[in-house]
Amino acid sequence: MRKIISILFITMIVLTGACYAKDSPKVVIEKYLDAVRNNNYDKAYSFISKTDTTIIDWLELIKYIKKITPPKLTKVIDLAHSAVRQEIVSTSVGGNTAIVKIHSRIPDMEETLKVTQNPEDIKSLLDRGELPMKERLGECTLVVEDDTWKISSVKGISSDQAAVLAMDFAELILGKDEAKRISREISEFAKKQEKGG
């Protein structure tokens, strides 16, 4: 009888532990990518490790860019993010570190903006499946932090889209003077970030 009770008790502990298990590295990456795609940067922060400020700096830069740019450019940035499609190719876990490899299809905004700079036309191209796309391979490194998988570095994911759009294509969308102003403000913000301010 004691043996049966012991087995039941151990089984309950194992099942209870499994119910409260933290998200896998793959699930963490999926949630992070979904938050970025949906421009929910506050949620995206929750998946990032305290060990690396690069990702947080990037998210802060996007928030800043969206704050200082006119709605027309912001709409294009949002469209570019929402059009990104990512697929997790592989996940490897070794101790407290995991590597998640990702295949991305991202909007080729350089080609798109040769055709149109109008957010409504870009959305129409996206809706019809005619938005020019390019492919990219990337990876995320995760570490265990407070019993939870957190992202410590991101390479080759579509993280440059907002800054590239804002700095390289603002002139096409907004005109030369406005583009210079935005580029100057973004550079000043990036310098403050580098100095830790």
| pLDDT tens profile 149-178 | 999 988 876 545 555 666 666 777 778 888
- The reply to whether 11 falls in a domain is no
- Burial code (b: 16+ CB inside 10 Å, e: under 16) for 133-170 equals beeeebbbbbbbeeeebbbbbbeebbbebbbebbbebb
Q: How far apart are CA 173 and CA 76, in angstroms?
A: 9
- The reply to whether 143 falls in a domain is yes
- The reply to whether 113 falls in a domain is yes
Q: How far apart are CA 189 and CA 197, in angstroms?
A: 9
- The reply to whether 61 falls in a domain is yes
Tally the domains of the chain: 1
- The reply to whether 133 falls in a domain is yes
Domain boundaries, position 108? 23-194
- The reply to whether 17 falls in a domain is no
- The answer to pTM > 0.75 is no
- The reply to whether 6 falls in a domain is no
- CA dist list (Å): 147 to 23, 31, 118, 143: 10, 17, 46, 10
**Which tens digits make up the pLDDT trace of 29-56?**
999 988 888 888 889 889 999 887 778 8
- The reply to whether 1 falls in a domain is no
CATH of the domain at 34: 3.10.450.50
Q: Does the pLDDT value for residue 82 go beyond 60?
A: yes
